[in-house]
Amino acid sequence: MRQARCFHAFVLFFFIFWVALTHLGFLKLDEFPSFKELPATFTIDALNGFVWQEENNGTGAKRLTCPKGPTVTVEDGLTGLGNQIWEYAQAWAAAKILDRPGFVSESLARKLKVYFPNIEMPTIEEISHCNVTKNATYMKMHVDVKTLKESYKGVHVRIPQYDMLPELILPYRDKLRDEIFKFHDEILERVQKTIHSFDAENLTKVVLHVRRSDYIGLIAILYKLSPAHSSFYLDAMDWFRKNIGGQLIFMIVTDDIGWCEKNLLIEKDVVIASDDTGHDLALLSIADHNIIDYGSFGMWAGVMSKGHTIALIDIDFNGIMTKFKNWHVFDESKYTSKLEFEP
């Protein structure tokens, strides 16, 4: 089974992408105050240093009493909402399992509060005067929750950006979904409106996440695969029609509505239900079942939803999830094409 490999290529890709974006001025620098403080030449480590804001007093944050024992912290990369949720959730869960304080960056907390009012972990900025994060050990990709305390006894733990460690969060799935990552009422109300607009209140809702745009390049780099063919989504819908009783509705959320309209709106029970990011993630998370292709956004929703999830790529994450819930991995060799190139 494939690890989330090419991790370094991935980081480098993002790094180049980020430089291009900032230098071309597409990103609003105000959203990332410390960008302005970057030296002219810097390394990936310096980038982390910047993200961590270890060297300054933070953004006017209040100062907390320095933690006496070891801590958990998490990298906040320049990731999308899906990764940000994973970063926060894992820091929260690791702190809980290890029974020690956990800290996230102020920017991560701020970005998540846009969607989730209950985000309240203290920030790294608030302990930036304590030097605690300078000597942290990265948490490994495969964690055994049972031996976690032993493995990281006495050391500061850092959760790497992009990682998704389902073992960490699965013990707290209900609390994470129902309390910590409970959406703002305004978002949930819009989701109910969407459901109502399709008269879907009493139907069994299967929500599909069809991720294309930016991820077409990413899956080429990460897995040397083409994006999923439309047959993946169509066969996955058929799986539900055959295996799940009751009246079904398939609701698509996507970043490529045109492609979905052209390729997936074949049966009458399929609709496109996309709105904005918060709405789409909330709809995915409250679905009865999901069909997801790739990416941290769909994977989070799949982990959170209570029913069946159909996933695609043969990665460790999917292998782990099949042990914990009704998680079905369709054969990627049937639904994607191998790309012949050296990224």
Ligand X SMILES: *[C@@H]1O[C@H](CO)[C@@H](O)[C@H](O)[C@H]1NC(C)=O
Count interface residues toward ligand X (CB under 6 A).
Answer: 11
For ligand X, the closer of residues 249 and 264 by Cβ is 249
Binding range to ligand X, per CB under 6 A, among 38-46, 130-138, 246-254, 306-314:
130-138
Specify which residues 41 forms β-bridges with: none
- CB neighbour list of residue 323: distance below 8 Å, 6 or more residues apart: none
Q: Segment 66-125, which members bind ligand X (CB under 6 A)?
A: 66
Q: Segment 19-58, which members bind ligand X (CB under 6 A)?
A: 56-57
For ligand X, the closer of residues 57 and 337 by Cβ is 57
Is 333 near ligand X (CB under 6 A)? no
Q: Which of 131, 213, 231, 326 binds ligand X (CB under 6 A)?
A: 131
For ligand X, the closer of residues 201 and 340 by Cβ is 201
Least distance (Å) between residue 132 CB and ligand X:
8
Helix (H) or strand (E) holding 212: none
Q: Which of 150, 199, 340, 342 binds ligand X (CB under 6 A)?
A: 199
Binding range to ligand X, per CB under 6 A, among 199-207, 242-250, 252-260, 333-341:
199-207
- Cβ distance 279 to 273 under 8 Å? no
Q: Segment 153-172, which members bind ligand X (CB under 6 A)?
A: 155
Least distance (Å) between residue 76 CB and ligand X:
20
229-232 long-range CB contacts below 8 Å, 24 or more apart?
A: 229/335, 229/336, 229/337, 230/263, 230/264, 231/334, 231/335, 232/293, 232/312, 232/330, 232/335, 232/336
Ranges of beta strands (E only) in the chain are 72-74, 102-103, 137-138, 157-159, 204-210, 248-254, 270-272, 289-292, 309-311, 327-329
Q: How far apart are CA 317 and CA 229, in angstroms?
A: 21
Is 135 near ligand X (CB under 6 A)? yes
Q: How far apart are CA 89 and CA 153, in angstroms?
A: 21
Is 130 near ligand X (CB under 6 A)? yes
For ligand X, the closer of residues 162 and 198 by Cβ is 198
Q: Which of 3, 202, 322, 333 binds ligand X (CB under 6 A)?
A: 202
Least distance (Å) between residue 291 CB and ligand X:
23
Is 192 near ligand X (CB under 6 A)? no
- Give 236-275 as a DSSP string: HHHHHHHHS-S-EEEEEEES-HHHHHHHTTTSTTEEE---
Specify which residues 73 forms β-bridges with: 103, 158
> Could you list the residues that contact ligand X (CB under 6 A)?
56-57, 66, 129-131, 135, 155, 199, 201-202
